[in-house]
Structure 1
Amino acid sequence: MTPLQVYFPLALVLIVSAILAFLLVGLTNVLGPRRPSAVKSGVFECGSDPVGDARGGFGVKFYVVALLFIVFDIEAVFVYPWAVLLKELGWVGFAEMALFAFTLVIGLVYVWKKGALDWE
């Protein structure tokens, strides 16, 4: 058995899935109903008429808040396994997580004092 023969089942699954995907999209385009109308071709934005230019950007504050949300959301990803293994980690694990949480709290206080969380 050659080293590449191990990957044959994986290649077969990828090829079959690609063929199936193209086949389903092709059949949908060929057999699907086509009844265009002005209402269907119109712009749809949450059930109401669109307002303003689509190219208008968001303020930088929006992106700052989004990044802060991601940072503190990732914190929860690290806290969960720590909480599950707290008994096995002992006081050393507790001290490490306390240092981690303290660092995040210092960052949150800094961001708060800078006014990045004020939404105006």
Structure 2
Amino acid sequence: MLINYAGIAVILAWGIVFPVILLVVQRLLCPSNPTKAKLLTYECGLDTQGDTWIRFKISYFMYALIFVVFDVETIFLYPWAMLFQNLGLFAIVEMVIFIAILILGFAYAWKEGALEWM
């Protein structure tokens, strides 16, 4: 029974070992010359002045987060559209339910004001 999982073990081992090998080779081949200027925190090319703990509106981040959520969910529509003619009634009903859930989520986000810029 363990032979069935051998492929997964090989892929998992390769996924762990390969990045480690690349990091070791990079460390050996690349020159290391850390200067004071290279170790400074880079933030938009400007030195911070005054109090850096300021508040900013989260609405932009909420708008982007909602876009990503709906974008990822609509990616699932593409495989379904490719096999549309081969699917039975059950798959079509599932897609109608999926789209209804998307519309409900969109309506909820709209009602809560997450889609307003200001």
Tell me which interval the TM-score lies in, with the shorter structure as reference length: 0.5 to 0.7
Note closer, same or farther for the CA distance 1:57–1:101 as it changes in structure 2 (3 Å cut).
same
The aligned counterpart of 1:79 is: 77
Q: TM-score, normalised by structure 1?
A: 0.60
Note closer, same or farther for the CA distance 1:67–1:26 as it changes in structure 2 (3 Å cut).
closer
Runs of 4+ off more than 6 Å:
none
Structure 2 counterparts to residues 84-95 of structure 1, below 5 A: 84-95=82-93
The aligned counterpart of 2:21 is: 20
The structure with the larger Rg is: 1
Size of the alignment, in residue pairs? 111
Question: Residues of 1 paired with 2:113 and 2:61: CA distance?
Answer: 14
Question: Residues of 2 paired with 1:85 and 1:21: CA distance?
Answer: 40
Cα deviations by residue, 1:26-80 (Å, 9 ceiling, x for unpaired): 424xx61527254x3443234x315462x65665434533442232122122211
Root-mean-square deviation (CA, aligned residues, Å) is 3.8
SS in 1 for 2:33: coil
Unaligned runs of 5+ in 2: none
Note closer, same or farther for the CA distance 1:16–1:102 as it changes in structure 2 (3 Å cut).
closer
Amino acid at match of 1:34: N
Question: Residues of 1 paired with 2:73 and 2:19: CA distance?
Answer: 38
Instruction: Tell whether 2:62 aligns with 1:64.
Output: yes
Question: Residues of 1 paired with 2:91 and 2:55: CA distance?
Answer: 44
Amino acid at match of 1:85: L
Q: TM-score, normalised by structure 2?
A: 0.60
Deviates more, 1:56-65 or 1:89-98: 56-65
